[in-house]
């Protein structure tokens, strides 16, 4: 037992600490929130700060073991630089999501200390999914993460929109999970294996001939891919995204936009590169179709949107399309470009949601909802308007900002494997996408003001997060080497 602890459990100390922190926070919240002796205190803000500290210490634990590489628990989990890199990005984005929620919970009178606990629990599921090296551990981690997200979408129990968003997400998410599980059962039924390394050896012909590549295994692989594509907002599995983005509380929408898709993409990459790389011709065509469809649908649908959160939903679908281009290239350069793009996108999204959450009317306390509400921003707060314009230019891919450089890496990786048609589609849809981003800037700076609205002053936490986002966009433009080196090492760790 001692040797088992030394050899296996030391690799998952960050996850064990995270789970312990959740249990402690849950006990703390339940006991104190129902304590008449303490006057039934509102604990949501306290628990959020404690959750931030818990995730921060989890980050330190991962940094402390960044040198470790191993397959543990009978090859069901794998620890390598790729998984550690993805975990760090997920944890930092979850911390940012929690910091965004501090003022929101108070202003919206949400007395739910469970919010922060659900964020940490879903983050724990993502950490386990990133390290999954088996179809069973992947499915359990995915469901662990998804169940928390369903509850978060319906966090505002008294809001019909939030309840509808949670129900839609739950029904369609359960359907996609069923498809994924059916695909995994087909793979297991016709190979007798669920471990990705064993499947990779089998399909490479080590001990078996290639007759095992039957139609049933191929269908199983494609069904697993369909279940995972639903989670990364890819067309044609995207119909739930705009409604869930709009109906969920804005702090939950920010978390959805930044964090869950990276964990799914990380396993998605490992699934195809470790187990099904010999099926490249099949899954590459599927991913290319989904990426092209995502780019076209998102760029055209976003042009007619009037609400900011729905616009950001279609923006997320479009950016998922760009990430899938890098993935579909099937090379280490493509994986590096996809990881680079995902980090840049998370930082840009952080800035946008910091702005949306901070901009509330002075007297009504309502958040901006429509794009037309931005017409007063430049007159009342020119520095904030400039910061938002910088993020929008980067999202649109205007050179030489971070968004442009990350798209350039995606297109270069596709050109190297002769995917010229996809690159042309990507460039055209990027130009179309520039229209709806520039429309926001045009409304901010040049729209005639019909009625002046005074906005509340931006709080320090959101100002800091918005500043970090803008600094990253400018710093990456001037000195991209550190992130490029990290993503290159992560891609090589996975592919070699």
Domain boundaries defined on the chain: 291-496
Output the pTM of the full model: 0.92
pLDDT value of residue 208: 44
- Single out the residue of 319, 275, 282 nearest to residue 297, CA to CA: 319
pLDDT value of residue 338: 93
pLDDT value of residue 323: 92
pLDDT value of residue 348: 92
Q: Which residues pair with 195 in a beta bridge?
A: 134
Below-70 pLDDT ranges, the chain = 1-6, 33-42, 66-67, 109, 205-213, 360-366, 449-456, 496
Alpha carbon distance 6, 384 (integer Å): 51
């Amino acid at each position: 037992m001692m040797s088992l602890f030394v050899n296996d459990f030391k690799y998952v100390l960050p996850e064990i600490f995270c789970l312990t922190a959740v249990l402690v926070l849950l006990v703390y919240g339940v006991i104190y929130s129902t304590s008449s002796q303490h006057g039934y205190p509102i604990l949501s803000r306290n628990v959020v700060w404690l959750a931030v500290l818990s995730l921060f210490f989890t980050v330190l634990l991962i940094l402390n073991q960044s040198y470790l590489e191993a397959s543990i628990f009978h090859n069901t989990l794998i620890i390598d630089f790729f998984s550690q890199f993805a975990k760090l990005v997920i944890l930092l984005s979850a911390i940012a999501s929690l910091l965004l929620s501090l003022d929101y919970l108070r202003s919206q009178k949400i007395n739910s200390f469970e919010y922060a606990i659900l964020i940490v629990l879903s983050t724990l599921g993502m950490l386990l999914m990133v390290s999954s090296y088996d179809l069973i551990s992947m499915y359990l981690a995915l469901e662990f993460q998804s169940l928390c997200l369903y509850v978060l979408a319906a966090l505002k129990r008294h809001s019909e929109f939030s309840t509808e968003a949670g129900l839609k997400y739950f029904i369609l998410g359960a359907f996609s999970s069923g498809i994924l599980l059916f695909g995994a059962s087909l793979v297991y039924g016709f190979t007798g294996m669920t471990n990705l390394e064993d499947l990779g050896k089998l399909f490479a012909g080590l001990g078996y001939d290639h007759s095992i590549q039957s139609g049933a295994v191929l269908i199983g692989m494609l069904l697993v891919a369909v279940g995972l594509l639903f989670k990364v907002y890819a067309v044609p599995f995207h119909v739930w995204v705009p409604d869930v983005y709009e109906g969920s509380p804005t702090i939950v929408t920010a978390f959805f936009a930044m964090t869950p898709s990276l964990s799914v993409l990380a396993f998605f990459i490992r699934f195809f590169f470790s187990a099904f790389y010999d099926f490249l011709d099949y899954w590459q065509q599927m991913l290319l179709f989904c990426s092209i469809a995502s780019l076209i649908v998102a760029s055209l649908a976003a042009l007619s949107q009037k609400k900011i959160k729905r616009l950001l939903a279609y923006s997320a679908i479009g950016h998922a399309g760009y990430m899938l281009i890098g993935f579909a290239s099937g090379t280490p350069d493509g994986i590096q470009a996809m990881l680079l793009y995902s980090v840049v996108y998370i930082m840009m999204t952080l800035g946008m949601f910091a702005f949306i959450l901070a901009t509330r009317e002075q007297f009504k306390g309502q958040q901006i909802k429509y794009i037309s509400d931005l017409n007063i921003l430049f007159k009342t707060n020119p520095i904030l308007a400039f910061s938002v314009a910088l993020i929008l230019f980067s999202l649109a891919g205007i050179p030489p900002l971070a968004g442009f450089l990350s798209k350039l890496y995606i297109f270069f990786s596709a050109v190297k494997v002769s995917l010229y048609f996809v690159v042309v589609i990507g460039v055209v849809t990027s130009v179309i996408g520039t229209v709806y981003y520039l429309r926001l800037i045009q409304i901010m700076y040049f729209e005639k003001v019909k009625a002046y609205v005074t906005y509340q002053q931006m709080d320090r936490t959101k100002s800091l997060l918005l500043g970090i986002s803008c600094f990253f966009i400018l710093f990456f433009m001037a000195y991209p080497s550190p992130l490029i080196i990290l993503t290159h090492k992560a891609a090589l760790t996975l592919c070699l």
